Amino acid sequence: MLCTTRVNGKDLTIKGRELNPEDDDVEVDINFFEQSYSPAGLTGFTIWEASWVMVRNVLQDRLKDKLQGARVVELGAGTAFSSLVASALGANVLVTDLEAVVMGSILPNIIYNENENSTTDINTPTSSSAWQGSRRVGEGSVSAMSLDWMTDVALQVIDNDPRDADLILAADTVWLCELIEPFVTTCVTLMKGPKNPPLYMTFRDRSTDKSTVFAGSDELFECFRRNNCEVNVLDKIDPEDKRKGGLVTLCLIKLASS
Ligand SMILES: C[S@@+](CC[C@H](N)C(=O)[O-])C[C@H]1O[C@@H](n2cnc3c(N)ncnc32)[C@H](O)[C@@H]1O
């Protein structure tokens, strides 16, 4: 178990895998031969610190009173921790990630946290804006779909279209330089949806002078600006665990014309 927490009267339990570099045991990875499973997908089974920043500084603080009934999409959600907290606070969330992460991490966490009396409280005011296939978690609801940033969004739409969102969340989604372009393209596609949803993003800068592998905030924000977006840095938070990177930046990104 990764964490248990109580949000708005709802007990949430998030399951996954501890990432412990001192552990000598090599765990057998049952997803290893899945087609959509890449090294990137390996990161989707734990809660990263930028998710805690998303939960504490965005969902339980800046957006707390605006989540009731809002249609939210989370990108690269991993364990779905932020999405489940948003749902407990009344949002209707579509949780997205690579297919192997949706199947192995997101769906088990949604099912585990579904309200016990799910069928009896389906007529709450938030139901009308719930995504297809949603389960009740707290006051809101949660559904899931696979959404790979390497593929055109339109080609991945089945029951739900993530472009039909009021709000987008992304916590610690971009850590490699090669992810910047596809991630920004996906975000901009969603932001151009009918409601021009803003994106709340937490980003952990792991770039160093010696390596060109890890994404830095300058390149990421520059890519958003080239795509006609405004980047507003709302806060910079010194993380508790300093071994896994630098400051966590919290930003609000919108289409410049919206
Ligand atoms: C560092 S983890 C962050 C997980 C979660 N948001 C958190 O903060 O705890 C990065 C997430 O991005 C997802 N991801 C990586 N490449 C992706 C891609 N091409 N399309 C969609 N999701 C991707 C991974 O599967 C993983 O869940």
Dihedral-angle region of residue 159 (phi above 0 means left; psi in -120 to 50 means alpha; beta otherwise):
alpha
Atom of ligand 1 nearest to the CA of 175: 1
CATH number of the CATH domain containing 185? 3.40.50.150
Q: Which structure tokens are listed for 3? A: 């964490």
Most confident of 47-61, 116-130, 232-246: 47-61
Give pLDDT, residue 65: 93
Per-residue buried b or exposed e for 110-133, using 16+ beta carbons within 10 Å of the residue's own CB: beebbbeeeeeeeeeebeebbbee
Q: 32 is in which domain, residue-wise?
A: 3-255
| 70-97 residue pLDDT tens | 999 999 999 999 999 999 999 999 999 9
Cα separation of 120 and 93, whole Å? 20
Length of the chain: 258
Cα separation of 29 and 31, whole Å? 5
Cα separation of 11 and 8, whole Å? 8
Q: At what angle do helices 177-191 and 217-226 cross, to 10 degrees?
A: 40
Q: How far is the CA of 7 from the centre of ligand 1 (A)?
A: 23
Q: Which structure tokens are listed for 241? A: 């665990």
The protein residue with its alpha carbon nearest to ligand 1, atom 15, reads 40
Per-residue buried b or exposed e for 191-212, using 16+ beta carbons within 10 Å of the residue's own CB: bbbeeebbbbbbbbbbbeeeee
User: How many domains, the chain?
Assistant: 1
Give pLDDT, residue 154: 98
| 228-256 residue pLDDT tens | 999 999 999 987 776 666 789 999 999 99
Q: How far is the CA of 76 from the centre of ligand 1 (A)?
A: 4
| 148-206 residue pLDDT tens | 999 999 999 999 999 999 999 999 999 899 999 999 999 999 999 999 999 999 999 88
The protein residue with its alpha carbon nearest to ligand 1, atom 13, reads 76
Q: What is the pTM of this model?
A: 0.91
The protein residue with its alpha carbon nearest to ligand 1, atom 4, reads 78
Give the residue from 25, 1, 172 showing the smallest Cα distance to 97: 172
Confidence check: pLDDT of 32 > 60:
no
Give pLDDT, residue 14: 96
Residues in contact with ligand 1 by the CB-under-6-Å rule are 40-41, 43-44, 47-48, 50-51, 76-78, 81, 97-98, 101, 148-150, 171-173, 175
